[in-house]
Amino acid sequence: MNGHPDMNGQEAIPLYGTPPATVEPVVAALDVCTRCQGTIAPDGYCLECGAPRMSARDHFRESPTEWVGGVCDRGLVHGRNEDALAICAVAPPTSHPEAGAVPQAGALHLGPPGTGVIVVCDGVSTSPDSDAASLAAARSAVQAAERVLAQATVESNRSGVLRGALLAGAQAARAAVAALGGEGEEAPSCTYVACAVEPGIVVAAWLGDSRVYWIPDGDAPVRLTTDHSWASELVARGVEVAEAERAPGAHAITRWVGADAPVDDVPSVQLAPTGPGWVLVCSDGLWNYCSPAQELAALLRELTRAGDAERAPERAAAVSPDVGGGVGLGCRTAADLAGDLVTWANAQGGRDNVTVALARIDAVVPMSEVPTTLAEDRREEVR
């Protein structure tokens, strides 16, 4: 039975509650080798390189468009993949006066044709079914965000819409995880990081230690999120970042999505990029090997060049080095590049599940055309 909208426009839960959501199980096995793209034989191993078959839950790729995509992978050590990833790309609203739907002469409006929403959830290993929880959370969150974006046809404050979408996502993630049942210690739980990207605006919301970085082509990279973790608490108390991340219990998260989680506000940040760059969303499976924004930016640049040269040399040569300053989309998709970062993390040891998603902003509306509210919202340093 449908509930009735309450005062806040949300669906009220009926007296008897609603049946728990069923999570579509991802058990399909992949026929293509995730290591070398070879064929998996009926005996379960690649015919070329001998790598074992992975299930579609162990390794999957989301690539709704060229400019936004990601890869979620079990890593090398863990027996199952408790990370999850969901991505959608929503067409731009039909009417969008403030963000410059009719670019003026000379204005650089080449940004993503629409809005990308990325959600990464990292299941908390100590809770059962955290692989199911993280996947249910990520998928529900993206669906909820997509609904909010679809309803916003004409909106005076785009940043408000995006933030609303991500908060609706967090709420949907909570509901999806709660629907899996369990109480207290037994309650499945996961981290939540969501990021919405469109021309000139990046908004992120999060609970836990999955991260969002902004890596502009020509400027200093920054991390947009602050971990809800013991390490962060230590940093807040004056401990050096590197030391805090190595401290015992550094990875213990202080906020999360789950039935046992304190229900409180979901923090969010926003940024109005003034040039082209990458938004990178990842779980700790990546940043454990490369935490500082500067290092991550350098790694991304190196992998972009190496990947273009190795996998499509003729196309790489054809791509003008001016496009994105040589570090843009190049000749491969965002999901391809995210896959390279996952491969890199596994080459460093793959000690944890690893999820990486990227969204490309090729160029943005010049500051003069950005609505003033957004320009004021822009945060220089978010750490």
Partner 1 sequence: MTSFEVEVFSNPYLQEGATDLHAIVAVRGQGSGGAQGGGEVPAEAAELLILDSSGSMAGRSLEAAKHAASVWVDTLPDGVLFAIVAGSHVAQRVFPYPNAPVRIVRMEPGARAEAKRAVARVVASGGTAMSSWLMLADQIFASVPPGVRKHAILLTDGKNESEPPGNLGRAIAVVQGHFQCDVRGVGDRWTVEEARQIATAMLGSVGLIPDPSGIALDFQALTRAAMAKGVAQASLRVWSPQGAELLFVRQVAPSIEDLTLRRTSVNALTGDYPTGAWGAEEREYHLAVRVPSRPLGTEQLVARVQLVVGGQVEASGLVTARWSADPSLTTPVSPAVAHYSGQTELASAIREGLAAKAVGDEATATTKLGRAVRLAQETGNAEATSRLRRVVEIDSERGTVRLRRDASRLDEMALDTASTKTTRVTR
Residues in contact with partner 1 by the rule CB under 8 A: 36, 41, 43, 45-52, 75-77, 346-347, 349-351
- State the minimum distance, in angstroms, from the CB of residue 75 to partner 1: 8
Nearer to partner 1, 51 or 319 (CB): 51
3-state secondary structure 244-312: HHHCCCCCCECCCEECCCCCCCCCEEEECCCCCEEEEEECHHHHCCCCCHHHHHHHHHHHHHHHHHHHC
**What is the nearest approach in angstroms of partner 1 to the Cβ of residue 51?**
6
Closest to partner 1 by CB, 201 or 345: 345
Instruction: Fill in the DSSP letter of residue 73.
Output: E
Which C-beta is closer to partner 1: that of 54 or that of 168?
54
Instruction: Report residue 284 as tokens.
Output: 């700790």
What's the closest the beta carbon of residue 52 comes to partner 1, in angstroms? 5
Give the shortest CB-285-to-partner 1 separation in angstroms.
Answer: 13
Q: How far apart are CA 218 and CA 216, in angstroms?
A: 6
Q: Which is nearer to partner 1, 152 or 345 (CB)?
A: 345
In the complex with partner 1, the residue whose CB is nearer, 40 or 359, is: 40
Give all strands of the β-sheet with 68-73 in edge-to-edge order: 59-62, 68-73, 354-361, 277-282, 211-216, 222-223
Nearer to partner 1, 75 or 216 (CB): 75
222-223 and 257-258 beta bridge pairing: unpaired
Q: How far is the CB of 49 from partner 1 (least distance, A)?
A: 5
72/59 Cα distance (integer angstroms): 6
Q: How many CB atoms lie within 10 A of CB 36?
A: 13
Min separation Cβ 77 and partner 1, Å: 4
